[in-house]
Structure 1
Amino acid sequence: MRRPFRCLREATERHPGLQVVILAGIFCEGQVLTECCRVASRVNPDIAGRPSFGEYANEPLIGLRVVGRGAPSDGIQLRTLARREGTAMNIKEIKSALDAQMINQSGEIKTELGNFIIQMAKSISSEIENYISDNKLDFDEYHPLVRFSKKLLLISWCYPISTKKIEASRVNRLNSMFCGPFFISKEFPWPEMDGRYAEPIVQLNLEEVQPISPVPIGSGMLQLWAGEWGEDFLIRIIPPAEIEEENMSLIPECIKGEYYGEMRWGITLIAWPEDDYKKKVPIAYEITEFKLQKLSWPGDLEGLSFSLEEELKDAQLVDKIREFVSIFPCDHPSTEPHLFGSFDQIQYDPIDANATFLALESRPCFDWNSGNAQISYWQNDKGEVEFGFAWSCQ
C-alpha cells in the first residue's frame, strides 16, 4: 500500500504544477488517500481544500491519479491508481491512454480502461434517453436515436474461445468442443431431424462458463445440434449427474467422414469439418480456454452516429457522442467464436436479438455461408436462463 503515495511524492516534487483528481480503478485504503493529499498539499496547498478530497477522504474504496497542469507527461505514471466507483474518466483521458487515441482492432485493452469505456457508453446512452424524455419526443423503437442509444449498451466484454484441432476419433467426448462427436447416452441420444442425424455444433460445460457469466447460467452440458441448412436446431442441457463415462453411448455406425462430407459439400453449410476432404478424416475443435477478455462493440458506431445530428439538437451531447465513437474502429473486432459480448450485423441487428451467450463466428470451424450464428440467452419469469439460436449469411 506504500506505492501510490511514494509515486505521488516523486511526481509532485519534480513538477510543482501537478493537480490531483479522483478516478476509478483499483481499491486502496483511506489512509493512502490521506497521505497522498498531505504529500501533494506540501507542493500545492490548494489541493487539500478541494471538495473531492473532503468528500472521499474517509471512503475505503478509493484511489488516486495524478495529472499534469503543464507538466511533462513522462513525470506522471499513475494511470490506474484508481478511484471511487461511479465517477468517470473524460474522453480526453481515455484517448490519451489508448495507442493512437483509438481502441485496438482486436479489442485487447486493459481492464480498468475498458471498464471506463463501458461506463461512459452507458452514461451517454442514459443522456440520450433523458434528452428524448425531457423534450417529450414520441420516438418508436426504430428511431435512429433510440437505436443508437441501445447500440451503446452493447459495448461490453467478450471472451474469445481458444481451440485445439483433434481427430474426432481421439477426442474426449466429455470435454467442451465444437463439431463433435459429443457426449450421448441412452437418455440423451444423438438427435435426428427429418430422417437424418443432426450435426453437432457446440458442446459446452456451463460450470466452466459461470465464473465469467453476468447471470447465474446454471450447470450441466449445453449442446447445440442442427439439421439441414440450420433451419432446425436443438439446444439441450444434459444434467451433471448424467455426464459420466459409464453412461456414454457409442456413436451411430453410419456417422463418419463420408456422411458429413456429403452434407458439408452438398446439402448443408455447417457440417462436421474434415481435416482432409480426400481422406475424409472428421475432426473436432476441443475448447481449451476462454479467460482472456476483449472489448466488444456492435460494428461501425461512428458511421451510425452521422445520422444523429439532425435528430439531436443538443450540440454539447452531439460533440460528446462524436468524440466517444471516434475511439472505435469501424468494424466489429471479433472474427472468432466468443462468449458474451456482441456480434456484427448481417441479416439482423444485435439490438433486436436477445443477449449473446455464444457468438459462433466462421473461424476456425464453421462456414455459415460467410455469415455468423449466435446462441442467445434470457431469463424467464422464474429467473431461469433459457437459450435460443439464430444464424445469418451474407
Structure 2
Amino acid sequence: MPRLVDLPGYRRFWVASTVSIFGAHVTTVALQIFVVVALHATAFELGLMNAARWLPYLLFGLVAGVLVDRCRRKPILVGTDFGRAALVCVIPLLYVAELLTMPALIAYVMVFGLLSLLFDAANQSFLPRLVPRKLLIPANARLEQSDSVAQTAGPLLAGALIQVVGAPVAMLVDAASYLVSGVLLASISVTERAQPASRRDLRAEVREGLSWIYRHRTLAPMAVTSHAWFLFHSMLGTVFVAYALDARELDLGAFWLGAAYACGGVGAFLGGALAGWAGRRFDAGPTVIAAHALMAPAWALMPLAVPGLAVFVMVALSQFLFWVAMGVTGPNELGYRQSVTPDGLQGRMNTTIRSLNRAAVVVGAPLGGFLAVATGYRTALWIGVAGFVLVALAMAVSPFRHARYADAVDPGPEPDFTVGV
C-alpha cells in the first residue's frame, strides 16, 4: 500500500485545495467588510448576500450531481477554478468604475455560488480517483487539517491585507489562489472516462441518486442525522456570536472571541491528526458516533459559562473540544460515504447530502436567532445542545452503528496511483 506522499496526483490535489481554501477565507472576510464599509449595506442586505451564496445549492444541487456523474470531473474542477478566478477580479473592476451596487453584488455572489457548487460536487467525487480506497480517511484528514489551519490563519491574513491594501485589492489574493489551484489540478494525470451519452430522463437519474442514499442501510441514517446536525449547528452558531459579544452576557470582546476561534482551529488540526488512527482502530460507525457524542458536552460549556476571569477559558475549551470532534468525524464520514458509493453515483451522493445540509442551515440559522430573541440566549443554546444529544442517540441506535469500512464497494482493479505526472 503506497503512502499519501508517494501519490503525485494527491500531492498536487492537496496543495491546490490548501491554496484555494486560504484564498477563500481571505475573500470571505474582505467581502463582508467591503460591503459594509464601501457600499454601506444594511444588516438585511448583508443577510441577502450571504443567503445568495447558498441558494444555488438548494436550487441546482441535485442536477449538479447528475452532471458530475455524467462527465469527467477534472475538467469541471479546472474550469470552475478558472471561472471563479475571473469572477473575483470583476468586483474590484466594477468598484473602480463606480458600477458596483448591492443588487449587482448579490447576483455576482449567486453566480459564484453556482460555480462553487459544481466545484464542490466534482471535488469530493474526484478524490477516490487519486488515492486507493484504504487511504481515503487519511487523505480527507489532510484536507480537513488544511481547512482548520485556514480557518485560523485566513482571517488574520485577510485583516492584515485589508489594513495594508484595502478590501477590494485583498480579494485579488483569492483570484490568484483559484488560478494556482486550477493550474495544479490541470497538471494531474488521472484516468477518467466520461459516461456514455445518456438518454435517460434527468429526473430518473436524480431519483436514482436519492434512492441510493435514502434506501441504503447505513448511508440513509447517516444522511438524515447529518441534515439534523446541520440544523442544530447553524442554530448554535447563530446564537453563539451574539451571546459571546453581548455586554449583558459574556462580554467576551472581538479579540478574545477571535482567540477562542483560534483554539477551535487547533482542535480541528489535532482531530484531523487522530482521524485516521480512530477510523482504523474503531471503524467507521463507532468512531463517528463517539465524536458526535463529544459535541454536546463541548457546547454545553457555553450556557454554563458566566462572566468573569474564567469565561474565556470555558469558551475556548468548548471550541477546542468541539473542533477536535469535528476533525475526527469529518474525514471518517466522508471517507465512508466515498468508499461505499459506486463511482457512477459519487456526484449525486455528494451533492444531494451537501445540498440538503445547506437547506438545513437556511432554516436553522434564522430559527436560532428567533429562539434567542423569544427565549433568551442560554435557552436557545440548551435547545441546540439537546439537538446534538438527539443526533448522537439516533446514530447510536440506527444501523449506522454497524457501519464498517469493509462495506466498501468493489471498485475493480485500481490503477497505479504512484505513476508520475
Q: Greater strand percent: which structure?
A: 1
TM-score (norm 2): 0.23
> Which structure's relative contact order is higher, taking Cα pairs within 8 Å and 6+ residues apart?
2
Q: Greater helix percent: which structure?
A: 2
Larger radius of gyration: 1
TM-score (norm 1): 0.24
